[in-house]
Amino acid sequence: MKKIGQKFTAFFFIVASIALLLMGRSQSALIEQTRAQIFNAFIPAIKVVDFPRGATSSLSDWIRNVAVVFSDNQFLREENANLKRQLTEATELEIDNLRLKNLLNIKDGTLTTITASRIVSDSNSPFFKSMLINSGTNDGVKKGHAVVNEEGVIGRTINVAANASRVLLLNDINSRIPVKFADSGVNVILAGDNSPLQLIEFMPEEEKANIGDLILTSGMGGVFPPDLPVGVVSEFTEFGGIRVNPSVNLNRLNYVSVTEYEIASFPTLIEEPVETPPQNEEVEE
């Protein structure tokens, strides 16, 4: 009798697991909120467990940095001189660009950095590519915010709790990012497939891509601001697909920035009332 009871319990929990899977598939808001509350509660515990790894990693980074400090210093001095020259040129170009945009009445969207966050946990799975960061609604983070670093696009927030958020990485199978070819301006979609290289979708047949082509965000969809570096074309598949190597090294992420992009709002066109001549006006002869 007890064995039957145990089998019934097992059957109940198996059915419950399948029910959860089906509910999750339909993007149930309740499930998403519950998930957010639970991962939010466990973030402090994960941080405690991560402390020895974090401390060891910081120490090894410090030792590595000290070892290369002199060579880095020389390199940075040269780079600084180059950057100063480029800054002058860039400022001139920016002024020109602004003037031309004003002439054409083009309005840029506004990009706001909401917060800088630390990565607290990683999926560490071949099938799911996401991570948890230690910023949430308390820091102003909302679902759908773009997550970037100085190298380029990392992903977007998909589930936000009070003090933590889940970030869907650009290499996840569910990730789709509107991008464009920097040279030709052709708009395409960058699709993740859980592999290190992402796939270009909806490439027009008449357009050609070359190895090394730079891929930037197109700004379409309103999640990612335009012209952020995403990656470079790195290989062609045997079926003619285009693979992109991301500009961000997803294996070396420690800190990220959560950004909000607001598309420029245009003044609505108000139709002026058309003046019609009075019908019963007498025509003067």
Partner 1 sequence: MNISPNKEASIGFNAVIPFLTILMLIFLMVLPYNIPLISDIMPLLTLIGVYYWSVFKPEYLPIWVVFILGGLQDILMGSPLGLMPLLLIVVQQFIFFQGRQFLERDFIFNWFVFVMLVIGFGIMSWGISSLYFRALLDYWDVLGQILMTIAFYPVITWLLGLTRKFVK
Told to check if 116 binds partner 1 by CB under 8 A, we report: no
Looking only at residues 4 through 63 of this chain, which bind partner 1 when binding is defined by CB under 8 A? 6, 9-10, 13-14, 16-25, 31, 35, 38-39, 42, 45-46, 49-50, 53, 57
Instruction: Tell the smallest beta-carbon distance from residue 227 to partner 1 (Å).
Output: 28
15 token code pair:
């059915």
Q: Which of 169, 186 has the CB closer to partner 1?
A: 169
Select the residue interacting with partner 1 from 115, 121, 157, 247 (CB under 8 A).
121
Select the residue interacting with partner 1 from 109, 111, 122, 226 (CB under 8 A).
122
Q: Which of 22, 83 has the CB closer to partner 1?
A: 22
Told to check if 197 binds partner 1 by CB under 8 A, we report: no
Instruction: Tell the smallest beta-carbon distance from residue 273 to partner 1 (Å).
Output: 54
Name the burial class of residue 122, with classes exposed (0-12), middle (13-18) and buried (19+) by CB atoms within 10 angstroms of its CB: middle
Query: Distance between alpha carbon 129 and the CA centroid of its chain, in Å?
Result: 13
Q: Which amino acid is at 83?
A: L
Query: Distance between alpha carbon 175 and the CA centroid of its chain, in Å?
Result: 9
Instruction: Tell the smallest beta-carbon distance from residue 267 to partner 1 (Å).
Output: 42
Told to check if 138 binds partner 1 by CB under 8 A, we report: no
How many amino acids of this chain bind partner 1 (CB under 8 A)?
Answer: 52
